[in-house]
Structure 1
Amino acid sequence: MHTDLVAALDIGGTKIAGALVDREGRILARAQRPTPAREDGDTVMAAVGAVIGDLAASPLWERAGAVGIGSAGPVDASAGTVSPVNVPGWRDYPLVAQVRDAAGGLPVALIGDGVAITAAEHWQGAARGHDNALCMVVSTGVGGGLVLGGRLHPGPTGNAGHIGHISVDLDGDPCPCGARGCVERIASGPNIARRALENGWRPGPDGDTSAAAVAAAARAGDPVAVASFERAARALAAGIAATATLVEIDIAVIGGGVGKAGEVLFTPLRKALTEFATLSFVRRLAVVPARTGTDAGLVGAAAAALMGRTDAAVAGV
């Protein structure tokens, strides 16, 4: 049987999603389990194994030639291990070896979730056709990944492009990572909401204090909500400009829940970028919303598996 498909796993703190994906990025079969994030490592792996088992029950499984994993991080692709912040039972957990065993010995490629979404956006989404791109996930955290010279650039451990932990405020709040003034500490959804609440914004009758509720208030003209999104936009702009100055990207793609806020985020972000991206070679930098949606992690994990098998860019990955 021709192995023209790959299996993909998208592992996060809430759910473990799996799919069988073809070379055009189409999802042909799916499986999913909740992540038992508060349980021990073997219990979490059992949920991963159950997803793989569901995929293996498909008649398409015999056409799968490799497995790609996009995991919450940090990951260490060189060691095949993961230590997701939101899955405390996994610390230096040998995920690649465990998945290889569960998948009957298929080759396994591991990348971080930010890099996975970057792979998806370059293969199928807003960064398609761009040789040098930064793709970002702005949601509960802020992650990202890079495409340089037309190829995904995960770095030796699979974490390159992790823009959320660039410091953009030397005297800023301490970040859980140990540094100060990180992009994530200012621009993630929970931190946008925290800043708005600290400055006097109050939720509506439903009591919703999410970043989406702050975005709705900002669209309605609430000045505190607007200011919180403007602060986030400036932090993102500073991080994007720093990245562009270092490696000459020509597009920044923003996905994740906060990325869905629309012009409440993108209008002040593009304005702030003109203040930070001032050198001639970064002035033409485009900032656009992501296109691949909720399947981005799976599509990107599939891209990693395809690249691992061919050792070459696949379909523009």
Structure 2
Amino acid sequence: MQNDLVAALDIGGTKIAGALVDSDGRILVRAQRPTPAQEDGETVMRAVSEVVGELTASPLWARAGALGIGSAGPVDASAGTVSPVNVPGWRDFPLVERVRAAAGGLPVELVGDGVAIAAAEHWQGAARGHDNALCMVVSTGVGGGLVLGGSLYSGPTGNAGHIGHISVQLDGDPCPCGARGCVERIASGPNIARRALESGWRPGPDGDTSAAAVAEAARAGDPVALASFERAAQALAAGIAATATLVEIDIAVIGGGVAKSGDVLFAPLRRALRDYATLSFVQQLTVVPALMGTDAGLVGAAAAALGSRAGAAAAGVGG
């Protein structure tokens, strides 16, 4: 069947991944390049064009009816531009226009990477079957996306659900975003490690000071490492409960490197959530690990493109 596939791009500070994806979320063709994140904007775009070029060279390309992009942010879907914090050469970069040209004029849908992951988890992962969900990534940063009323809600610019920059500590540490006490400033991997080190935790003989090393120490019972994870869990619980209270989600899905800590994170998070999600309509809120893994960004970008095509068809403007 013609146009039964969509193309997808997942653009981050480390890699630019591309795929052709079918309507069941299966990845049929892949392409990837390292992100030349510290180079100028045109050099980064060249890597994107190479990934798109690999996809267009596939015999399956003729079946692609749209292209979805999940990009590190901030993004501005209304303007078709991106300004990723971790790609300094791109500031208000006209990514949609450039990708559309590279893809031979296909319709292009742009969302932030957190929104893309929410789309993936709702379509194929841990939020499947839930009409109202928050899906999060807790890693080097903290991002997220929302599903409301059964549909992905990306907001006017494609950034809705960015829970990492909800302030949960009014007089907290300054965050690079300009605010204070943001969830990300407390709960991201680097900040979990920073807090542990500042509180007296010391790494083992290998000198590893990552959040994964702190998690290992916490599993072994180190009280300082445990306290750092409990603080992160409290910040996440406060942000999740605030979101649930505002828009009535019933599930929060958490992925990313920090979520791989398992019960070191999830046990104190579920305890703390009981202290924050207290109103009757949020008391049944559950928190679960993400299921989609490293393909979440690609599958979510594909889901966003499929959703856009379905919306256009329903409005009678194409299919």
TM-score range, shorter chain: over 0.9
Instruction: Give per-residue Cα distances to partners, 1:241-297, cap 9 Å, x unaligned.
Output: 000000000000000000111000000000000000111111100000000000000
The answer to whether structure 1 residue 159 and structure 2 residue 156 are counterparts is no
Structure 1 residue 312 displacement after superposition? 7.5
Instruction: Give per-residue Cα distances to partners, 1:172-193, cap 9 Å, x unaligned.
Output: 0000000000000000000000
Structure 1 residue 204 displacement after superposition? 1.1
Amino acid at match of 1:104: G
Distance 2:7 2:245 in 1: 36
Contact 1:253 1:289 in 2 (8 A): yes
Identity score, percent: 85
Residues 74-113 of structure 1 aligned to structure 2 (within 5 Å): 74-113=74-113
Contact 1:164 1:183 in 2 (8 A): yes
RMSD of equivalent CA atoms:
1.2
The residue that corresponds to 2:4 in the other structure is 4
The residue that corresponds to 1:65 in the other structure is 65
Amino acid at match of 2:100: R
The residue that corresponds to 1:13 in the other structure is 13
Distance 2:306 2:244 in 1: 28
Local SS of the residue matching 2:205 = coil
Local SS of the residue matching 2:90 = coil
Instruction: Give per-residue Cα distances to partners, 1:114-168, cap 9 Å, x unaligned.
Output: 0000000000000000000000000000000100000000000000000000000
Instruction: Give per-residue Cα distances to partners, 1:30-76, cap 9 Å, x unaligned.
Output: 00000000001000000000001111111111111111000000000
Q: Provide the TM-score with structure 1 as the length reference.
A: 0.98
Amino acid at match of 1:92: D
The residue that corresponds to 1:192 in the other structure is 192
Query: Structure 1: any 5+ residue segments left out of the alignment?
Result: none
The residue that corresponds to 1:149 in the other structure is 149
The residue that corresponds to 2:255 in the other structure is 255
Distance 1:313 1:73 in 2: 28
Structure 1 residue 308 displacement after superposition? 1.2
Question: Across the two proteins, how many residue pairs are aligned to each other?
Answer: 314
Distance 1:223 1:313 in 2: 56
The residue that corresponds to 1:301 in the other structure is 301
Distance 2:221 2:32 in 1: 39
Query: Structure 2: any 5+ residue segments left out of the alignment?
Result: 315-319
The residue that corresponds to 1:269 in the other structure is 269
The answer to whether structure 1 residue 115 and structure 2 residue 133 are counterparts is no
Local SS of the residue matching 2:191 = helix
Distance 2:18 2:213 in 1: 31
Local SS of the residue matching 2:161 = coil
Amino acid at match of 1:65: G
Residues 163-182 of structure 1 aligned to structure 2 (within 5 Å): 163-182=163-182
Distance 1:312 1:242 in 2: 33
Local SS of the residue matching 1:159 = coil
Amino acid at match of 2:289: P
Q: Which moved more, 1:305-314 or 1:58-67?
A: 305-314
Distance 2:206 2:108 in 1: 45
1:313–1:225 CA distance, 2 compared to 1 (3 A): farther
Q: Provide the TM-score with structure 2 as the length reference.
A: 0.97
